[in-house]
Chain A
């Protein structure tokens, strides 16, 4: 499935941004390290791909963190995920209509690459200026 499913979805363009929550356990812990831990970008389970939320225009990123106190938020573009061999497919949920899945094999190298590629949208408190 890798290599194009997201391209077939007219509403998901390469520049479309998606968000993923980062739990405190995956915040950077070492001085000088800025990025989250690689395991933050594994599939949700053996049968569930990694979840993300499509950053619909005008949506407040903090909405995605409601009920998840202390969590951070990072972003990718779909182009960045596809460059890592991942496809993004819409998977609307009752509680989150912008929910999507990042489908594709996630080796250790893929997860580390994603950790190095993502950008903080809501940074851990200790990293805020």
Chain B
């Protein structure tokens, strides 16, 4: 990365060329997924089979990008803790959830790539946005997820 002390003008930014027709681009690979997460991978994969309207209220199909984002969160953390519950959202996203009826942790991955974390502990709910699977602000969520199971 080139560091500069001044603001670049528009034409100084390097453009990312569109791939030529008929060519392929290298996709960003997923980090290795721990074997114990296979049941979660399987459940996330099943969500892609849901048809539009699966909740009887016109829910969207699940966006593959949201599924990949959820996988990236777990893979990036090399998650070896309790397996999360996996739930589809009506707007095409997915949620990972740990805990029970009272205390719990939820991470929502939306089709637009945005992610939100909710920690509900001792009757207090806090939620915040995270920038991506490697955002350090996910750490607290994982600590609670590990405790709450």
By a beta-carbon cutoff of 8 Å, the part of chain A in contact with chain B is: 21, 23, 25-26, 29-30, 32-35, 37-40, 42-46, 48, 50-51, 68, 71, 107-109, 112-113, 116
Flag B103-135 by CB within 8 Å of A: 1 or 0 each.
010101000000011101000011100000000
The dominant DSSP class at the A interface is: loop
Asked if B89 and A112 make an inter-chain contact with CB atoms under 8 angstroms apart, the answer reads: no
Asked if A30 and B106 make an inter-chain contact with CB atoms under 8 angstroms apart, the answer reads: no
Asked if A32 and B108 make an inter-chain contact with CB atoms under 8 angstroms apart, the answer reads: no
By a beta-carbon cutoff of 8 Å, the part of chain B in contact with chain A is: 47, 50, 54-60, 85, 87-91, 95, 97, 100-102, 104, 106, 108, 116-118, 120, 125-127
Q: Which of B87, B91, B102, B117 contacts A37 (CB 8 A)?
A: B87
**A-B CB pair tally, cutoff 8 Å:** 77
**Separation of A67 and B13 alpha carbons in the complex (Å):** 56
**Separation of A33 and B57 alpha carbons in the complex (Å):** 24
**Separation of A34 and B125 alpha carbons in the complex (Å):** 19
Asked if A44 and B58 make an inter-chain contact with CB atoms under 8 angstroms apart, the answer reads: yes
Asked if A108 and B116 make an inter-chain contact with CB atoms under 8 angstroms apart, the answer reads: yes
Asked if B97 and A44 make an inter-chain contact with CB atoms under 8 angstroms apart, the answer reads: no
